Amino acid sequence: MARYSEEDISKVREATDVVSLVRERVDLRQKGREFWGCCPFHKEKTPSFKVNPDTGLWHCFGCGEGGDAFGFIMRTDNLSFPEAVAYLADKAHIELVVDPQAAAQAGRMKRLRAICEDTATYYADYLHKSKTPAAAEARRYLAGRDFGSEIALKWRLGYAPGRGKLIEYLRSKGHRDDDLVTANVAMRSGAGLRDRFFERVMFPITDVQGRAIAFGGRILGSGEPKYLNTSETPLFHKRQNLYGLDHAKQSLITEKTALVVEGYTDVIALHRAGHSSAVATLGTALTAKQVAVLSRYVDRIVYLFDGDEAGLRAADRAVEYIDQSLSPEFAATPVKLDVALLPMGNDPADMMDSPEGQQQFAQVLKDATPLLEFAINRKMDSRDLGRPEERARALKEAAMVLVPLKGSLLVQPYAEYIADCLTRAGGDFDQSMVLEVINSTRAPAPRRIEDEEEDERVGGSDSSVGVTDVDALPRLTQTELVERELLALVLQKPSALDYVADRRDKVTLSHPLYREALSQALALRTDEVSEPVAAIDKSLPGVARLCAAYEFDTIVVEPKDLAKELVMRLQESALERQIRIIRGDLQKNEGNKALLESLYIASKELHRIRARRYQ
């Protein structure tokens, strides 16, 4: 991750008009020297969100969020601090100084983004301006889906004619052939190049900031594949990106619920009908990385499937995400994952075409089932529960769903649910029988955020005795990613370890493996061990690989300064969680003076840390 000097950061801060920046996302009205609007981070009717142009700070009196220009763009676009600096520097046309290797990589990424942006512009212009029969047919297709010119412009829809026309256009813009191939808008053919997409309606795939990074193309008429996506590139990773995220992010932040579908047109149709928190996967089932991306914005995901057999099989794959991240007492940022089945033969786009369909869709969302309940019911439904031997098989299969949640408070009520279902079917079961199966079964290997392939699994140990390999971890939350970077830093840089050691009482790591690794690092520090990474790796395998993923020798700031930033980010996260819990308690105990006092103290401390971090 690139690090920038305080001088450059100050330049970017001074060049950024915080009022103009916030106005891109919030309707502001001036009152005296300050500007007020409705907070973009929670739903409200009366404006309580204030921007002060003199101090360059913003604050919401409703939800307690606040900060400067960097904090605003970090919160709205879910960026890290260096990413926010780079984003605002680009808007202000400020050249940031980074190490040569990082600068070369940044230059390459900038060229690829320019190619994708120019490609999206070319496709859109061809759709709207070309008088060819092919372009006219594409316009008729979109009109038939009720995607008129306004929708097409908003979503930057286009048409790819092929036959080298895009390559000719991009070369005229000064782009290099090698970069066209790397961006996957062109492919090598013999001694030359050919367009990657031809005779297809084009759907630009954008990043969270709305920049084109890839494309999906739908063929008109017969032909295979019906949909063709950009292959993996340095800009685009299909298992991590989501279609429509840039359009949906504001609704995701305020509504705290994401609707996940499988098609571009479904997303557009849902947004048009008012369901603006819809996003789509990109030719894969929902992946751990996509769940992690959405969890930064929402606390609930509703995954929509067709009700036919193919849709049910796809829904069954969602069971792979049952792990302790679903358990509120284990996950730092737990996400509630629900499953909703559409009526047979309907897709979301079709249902948006009529008031009846929209009402039916609203009922589908209302009937969404928690993933655990859905998975257990699927196991039950696959067996003839009227037969004793089938009930026994259903008991084992349903109990297996809960094995990854060993130790969670969720296990007991769902074990009782399984027992009740089987008893109603004619058996004599109680929850102790279900718990016996769960406790006697070895937990499956956890699914990690780092999994590149959807079916990749990582070896682990029995959860009853605890995982000892740092690499064998469940998918990481945003907080755990910060913890991981801090752990790697203190293991590699003595000055960072000294900083953390002096503030040990203020550094609380949520994951037990990280706590243990840090504890060992602090103990080795007093023993003056020359190679702490190798020493700790013997008792906690994977530490060396974890550290190898972070190259701190190229950062601009001092290691202790980076440690300071990471520690403050962890303190922010802890206070944010504390404030959410207090607010939830206040909903049940409105006006409770002790809770209000706790909220005031936590909010004041959060603002103090943010002021230090962004000063």
Residue spans per domain, the chain: 6-91, 100-229, 245-375, 383-439, 478-614
**465 or 73, which is more confident?**
73
The DSSP-derived string for 105-152 is HHHHHHHHHHHHHHHHHHHHHHHHH--SHHHHHHHHHHHHTT--HHHH
Strand partners, 201: 159, 218
- Residue 98 has a pLDDT of 66
Name residue 50's beta-bridge partners. Answer: 36, 59
Mean pLDDT of 250-264: 91
516 by Cβ neighbours in 10 Å (0-12 / 13-18 / 19+) ranks as middle
Q: Residue 575 and residue 7: Cα distance in Å, rounded?
A: 29
**Distance, CA of 184 to CA of 30 (rounded, Å):** 47
Query: What is the C-alpha radius of gyration for the chain, rounded to an integer number of angstroms?
Result: 26
pLDDT band per the 50, 70, 90 thresholds, residue 133:
very high
**Which residue in this structure is represented by tokens 């007492």?**
329
First vs last Cα of the chain: how many Å apart? 21
**Residue 456 confidence (pLDDT):** 30
Burial of 195 (0-12, 13-18, 19+ CB in 10 A): buried
CA 166/CA 149 separation, integer angstroms: 22
Q: Whole-angstrom Cα distance, residue 612 to residue 14?
A: 17
Query: Distance of alpha carbon 70 from its chain centroid, rounded?
Result: 20
pLDDT range class, residue 457, cuts 50, 70, 90: very low
The HSE-up count of residue 427 (CA atoms within 13 Å, CB side) is 23
Q: What number is the average pLDDT over the span 516-536?
A: 77
Residue 504, classed as helix, strand or coil, is helix
% of residues, the chain, pLDDT over 90 = 29
Check residue 451 and give its pLDDT.
Answer: 40
Q: Please give the model's pTM, rounded to 2 decimal places.
A: 0.62
- pLDDT 10s digits, 337-384: 899 988 877 888 888 888 899 999 999 999 999 888 998 998 898 889
Rounded to whole angstroms, the Cα distance separating 325 from 299 reads 12
- 100-229 maps to CATH 3.40.228.10: no
The string of pLDDT tens digits covering residues 396-454 is 999 888 888 777 778 889 999 999 999 998 878 888 888 888 888 776 554 444 443 33
pLDDT reported for residue 3: 64
Q: What's the pLDDT at 246?
A: 93
Which of 311, 378, 373 lies closest to 336, judged by CA? 373
> Does residue 253 surpass a pLDDT of 70?
yes
Instruction: Give rounded-to-5 percent helix, strand, coil for the chain.
Output: 50, 10, 35
Residues in CB range of 566: below 8 A, 6 or more apart:
482, 485, 486, 489
**The pLDDT value given to residue 112:** 94
pLDDT confidence of residue 473: 47
Share of the chain above pLDDT 70, in %: 84
Contact indicator for 278, 263 with CB cutoff of 8 Å: no
CA quadruple 255, 257, 258, 259: dihedral sign: negative
Four-CA torsion 602, 607, 608, 612, nearest 10 degrees? 140
Angle at 276 between CA 209 and CA 263, to 5 degrees: 85
Q: Which range (178-192, 204-218, 442-456) has the least confidence?
A: 442-456
The letter for the amino acid at 325 is S
CATH topology of domain 245-375: Dna Topoisomerase Vi A Subunit; Chain: A, domain 2 (3.40.1360)
pLDDT tens digits along 580-602:
788 777 777 777 788 878 887 88
Residue 247: pLDDT band by 50, 70, 90 thresholds?
Answer: very high
Would you state the pLDDT for residue 435?
A: 87
Q: Residues 136-162: pLDDT tens digits?
A: 999 999 999 999 999 999 999 999 999
Which CATH architecture does the domain made up of 6-91 adopt?
Answer: Alpha-Beta Complex (3.90)
Least confident range of 24-33, 79-88, 313-322, 546-555: 546-555
Residue 307 neighbours by CB distance under 10 Å: 16
